[in-house]
Amino acid sequence: MPSLKPFNTFGVEASCPALHPITRIDDLWSYLHQKPPEQRSLVLGGGSNVLLRDHLPYPVLLNQIQGRHLVSEDAASVIIELGSGENWHQIVEWSIAQGWNGLENLALIPGTVGAAPIQNIGAYGAEFATVFVDLEAIDLTTKELRHFDAAAAAFGYRDSCFKRSWKDRLFITKVRLRLSKTPQPNLSYGVLAKVLAAASIHQPTARDIANAVILIRSSKLPAPHQYGNAGSFFKNPTLPADWVAQHLQSRHPEVVVYPDQPGMVKIPAAWLIEASGWKGVRKGKVGSYPLQPLVLVNYGGATGTAIWEFAQAIQAAVQAKFGITLEPEVNLLP
Ligand code: NAP
């Protein structure tokens, strides 16, 4: 049975009955042609947002569809079409080198272009939805070609229809984005503005912003080749502002709280984990990263089960101390 160890950034051992590299859309049609209708398949891009807790009982499609094309342009913007298996960060770098703006705040996010709309990836005040035009996908059940524009994608905060009604039913093949030809710096995120000001950069280019994001991320996140990880393991909880004022701020006035939708606030999960005593804790081959406790790391040879047990222990500690349920952001498989 083929090993999935090279294809998940946690670097845990797991196998599956068959592994199908998909480098062209025709590879996918051939696979679907021979697949029994009821057979489930897992699409893996960068493997950077999954925890494989055990062996998978179904085949895995490895998305390796490449391609970057300029589709059209006007005085202000370009529309580009990307193969869904392209590495996200390499696309950010490429777009900046072309002189296009819009992806710079999203530098160094692991994963593929095809994974970006599923999660509506976002970071440092920007999110994928704002540059999205549309995408093409193949329905793994009916074998139909489908198109989704922004309205159909139903993007929300780290959310889309691809995580909900369409979950596990699509293979996204191509994604089109609109990028600006003129700089549109988004410095709404405090730490980003601070890093740029410290470097005396007052009119930052997309390159300057990406550099600052890369600096911030690299200073607190481990590279997967150093220690296996899948970035943030838990979502940052959003909670009713009243509840937070009554039950959290009254007892922990130092808690960090950010505004969210009206009546709601965001609490950094990292703060809750640290305040529950789990920052930098290591048990055997698994730990919470000392510089960013929201990242769980495989110090070498950990199993998916051990990582999941560690994550559950953190959930229990945060629940016991604050009455808040931390939800995993990574996909738990099987
Ligand atoms: P962080 O900067 O410590 O922030 C933790 C939480 O506080 C997040 O919910 C963040 O909101 C919020 N926050 C911080 N500064 C804020 C501000 N000035 N205004 C409003 N909200 C603020 O988070 P981190 O874990 O180191 O991650 C850095 C960035 O990468 C964050 O933007 C985070 O969302 C993003 N990220 C994205 C993904 C993903 O797309 N799947 C995964 C991991 C991290 P926001 O989440 O709205 O920024």
**Residue of minimum CA distance from atom 20 in ligand 1:** 258
- Say which of 158, 169, 207, 217 is annotated catalytic: 158
pLDDT for residue 224: 84
Expressed in angstroms and rounded, the spacing between residue 8 Cα and the centre of ligand 1 is: 23
How deeply is 224 buried, as exposed, middle or buried, from its count of CB atoms within 10 A (0-12, 13-18, 19+)?
Answer: buried
Is residue 217 part of the annotated active site? The answer reads no
Neighbours of 246 (CB within 10 A): 11
pLDDT for residue 37: 85
Indicate whether residue 124 lines ligand 1 (CB < 6 A). Answer: yes
Contact 110, 90 (CB under 8 A): no
pLDDT per residue rounded down to tens, the chain (334 residues): 999 999 999 999 999 999 999 999 999 999 999 999 889 999 999 999 999 999 999 999 999 999 999 999 999 999 999 999 999 999 999 999 999 999 999 999 999 999 999 999 999 999 999 999 999 999 999 999 999 999 999 999 999 999 999 999 999 999 999 999 999 999 999 999 999 999 999 999 999 999 999 999 999 999 888 999 999 999 999 999 999 999 999 999 999 999 999 999 999 999 999 999 999 999 999 999 999 999 999 999 999 999 999 999 999 999 999 999 999 999 999 9
Q: What is the pTM of this model?
A: 0.96
How far is 145 from 261, CA to CA, in rounded Å? 35
Q: Enumerate the β-bridge partners of residue 270.
A: none
Expressed in angstroms and rounded, the spacing between residue 256 Cα and the centre of ligand 1 is: 12
Indicate whether residue 270 lines ligand 1 (CB < 6 A). Answer: yes
Which phi and psi angles does 83 have, rounded to 5°? -65, 140
pLDDT for residue 46: 94
At residue 38's C-alpha, the angle toward residues 37 and 40, to 5°, is: 110
Task: Tell me the one-letter amino acid at 236.
Answer: N
Query: Would the CA dihedral through 173, 13, 329, 184 be positive or negative?
Result: negative
Is residue 77 part of the annotated active site? The answer reads no
Contact 96, 206 (CB under 8 A): yes
